[in-house]
Chains A and B, each alone.
Chain A
Amino acid sequence: MTTGGWIVLILSIGSVTTLFGWCIWKVLSIPDETEKLHGFEFETPDREKD
């Protein structure tokens, strides 16, 4: 592999791995988010009707 190949490899894999890692951290670090999914029938009707 050439030097250019190593640069492309490191940049490509580094960027997708960093993004993936950041997303995992963000998803897991937001309080209550992992278990907050619930039906909207429990929500208050605080939005105008369409």
Chain B
Amino acid sequence: MSAPRERWSSRLGVILAVAGSAVGLGNFLRFPGQAAQYGGGSFMLAYFISLLIIGLPICWAEWTMGRHAGERGFHSCPGAFHALLRHPAAKYLGVIGVIVPVVIYMYYVVIESWCLGYAMNFLTGRMHFSTPGEAGAFFARYIGSAQDGASVGFQFDQVGDYIIFVFLLNFFLIYRGIAKGIEWFCTWAMPALIVLAIIILVRVLTLGTPDPAHPDRNVSNGLGFMWNPQKVVMESYDGTGWKRDRELVSERSIEEAEREAAAAPDRLRVRKIGVLEELRKPGVWLAAAGQIFFSLSVGFGVIVTYASYLSRRDDIVLSGLSATSANEFCEVALGGLITLPAAVAFLGIAGVAGQGTFGLGFQVLPLVFAKLPVGWLFGFLFFFLLFLAAITSSLSMLQPGIAFLEESLNIGRKQSVSILGIITALGTGFVVWFSKDLKALDTLDFWVGTFLIFVLATIQIIAFAWVFGIKRGFEEAHLGAAIRIPWIFKPIMQVLCPVFLLGIFALWTLQNLFGIQFGSTHAEISGYVLDLVGPNPNPVAWGAVGIILTFGAFVALLVHRADAYRRPIINSSEAPQ
């Protein structure tokens, strides 16, 4: 490691960079959808418990592991495990920490280009939708979900130009390095993102009831759909059983429904699902823990790399907490107040319920902005906000790969950027071309963006708390610390976090691989598994898994051959000057 060591230029810069890595599309699109789907207030309780039990502990563990590795000249995940565990096999554990960010980048950059494309189409006044079908048709055409290769085109309302621009912008910034590239960009992009979000938030909260013909479509009901702790639903009896008719979110609508049900008790009933009933459902915990994971970028291998550019005397406890709190502010206080209230105000609860992340973001919201006065401007601002959130995240996904290539091949930034550029361009090309039903993107997201993240986070917290040791880990974390980690986090990191994580992982595996639906006797093997080993294997799904395995083998080979992991581990702060 004779090359000059890169470093952050300010503490605020590293905090904004880590926060930028965490704040992404999930904050504004995934979080509100998950909260509304899994019980609103009940979900928030599970969410905050997950934040305390897995989010913060793993975050602090990653910051500590990263700085510890950086002191010893390592900036990649294999290097971090090598420095931390000092076992010949330890470096191989870090292979996942290179696979995860690089493979996620391959498809994340595509979604990033959708955001930029939507922003530019709003700015140029091309987004005129009057029905959900029109918005859906535009999105399907834009992403090419009808057939493979359909999204490749270079018209203004096609994705080609945007992907090339976004891809090159990412690599330009990453080539400029830690301080002049990532830190410089995040230092202005993050404040800009928050200002944009506040402008949109003010507009959304002042929408009131946009259409007097539909008085139930208003901001207050949108907030209730998201935040009410008790879900209230009107159910009707169809002769075979009770079926859900609609969700009730305002005090007045609940009272009216109760009067209606009292008049026909054999046909109608109002069912109230309380907080405790919701929290007894494993799915709520799974969703809350999953959201914390994806939102905070823990288990991505990113924080380890970012923290490795700090020095021994630099605080990591307050920095980690600050980056986490910035992400939570963007997610809960901004994302939680913008997306669903805006959508419900124009489309009603029925038009929003059950929408996934893409449906909400790229079909429902464009329709909302099309109906809004000066909607082209707010549509542009919102999708540009998403674009900024996405690019600060995608930049963070490249740095672990760059650091690993520099470390394992002992090459400079120019070479490492070139190699990673070729690898990710091939992967992104695969995702863009095989766009039918978003099969390539979806498969990569499932196996890497969900499955491997769980695996890496579990390995990290066990390695930190049990192998490195919780006492030593706390001592290491507190070097240069501006605040102290409360003592309660020792048992949390050592026992509660791994147990909770393993429990959630087991539930996730049962639900998502074996298709077991909790609260139901029905079980069906997941489509992701059937795509690979079912009676009709899907070649695109196999291609996506092939990319993961090939890249994993490439990383493992480099780890195996790298001189960097064979030399004695030296703490650079004690090296002779």
Contact = CB atoms under 8 A, between A and B. Distances in A.
Interface in A20-50: 20, 22-24, 26-28, 30, 33-41, 43, 45, 47, 49-50
Contacts of A12: 44, 48, 227, 332, 336
Given A12-B44, A33-B315, A5 B227 contact: yes
A41 B482 contact: no
B53 interface: no
B224 interface: yes
B329 interface: yes
Interface string B533-573: 00000000000000000000000000000000000011111
Contact of B224 (A5, A36, A43, A50): A5
Contacts of A40: 71, 311-313, 572-573
B489 to A, nearest CB: 15
B442 interface: no
B150 to A, nearest CB: 41
A15 B51 CA distance: 13
Interface in B233-269: 249-251, 254
A2 B328 contact: no
Size band of the interface chain A makes with B: 35 or more
Given A4-B228, A43-B313, A34 B10 contact: yes
Contacts of A43: 311-313, 573
Contact of A16 (B249, B319, B325): B325
B12 interface: yes
Nearest to A22: B325
A11 to B, nearest CB: 8
Task: Give chain B's interface secondary structure class.
Answer: helix
Interface string B16-56: 00000000000000000000000011001000100000000
B409 interface: no
Contact of B318 (A4, A20, A27, A45): A27
B44 A5 contact: no
Contact of B577 (A16, A41, A47): A41
Contact of B311 (A9, A33, A37, A45): A37
B574 A45 contact: yes
B400 to A, nearest CB: 20
A10 B44 CA distance: 12
B483 interface: yes
Given A17-B329, A20-B326, A49 B571 contact: yes
A20 B223 contact: no
Contacts of A38: 7, 311
A5 B337 contact: no
A36 to B, nearest CB: 7
Nearest to B480: A36
Interface of A: 1-9, 12-13, 15-17, 19-20, 22-24, 26-28, 30, 33-41, 43, 45, 47, 49-50
11 contacts: A4-B229, A5-B41, A13-B332, A23-B321, A24-B322, A26-B482, A26-B483, A27-B12, A37-B9, A37-B314, A39-B311
Of all A-B residue pairs in the complex, the 9 with the closest CB atoms, nearest first, are A1-B224, A8-B41, A40-B311, A5-B228, A23-B322, A20-B329, A40-B573, A20-B325, A5-B227
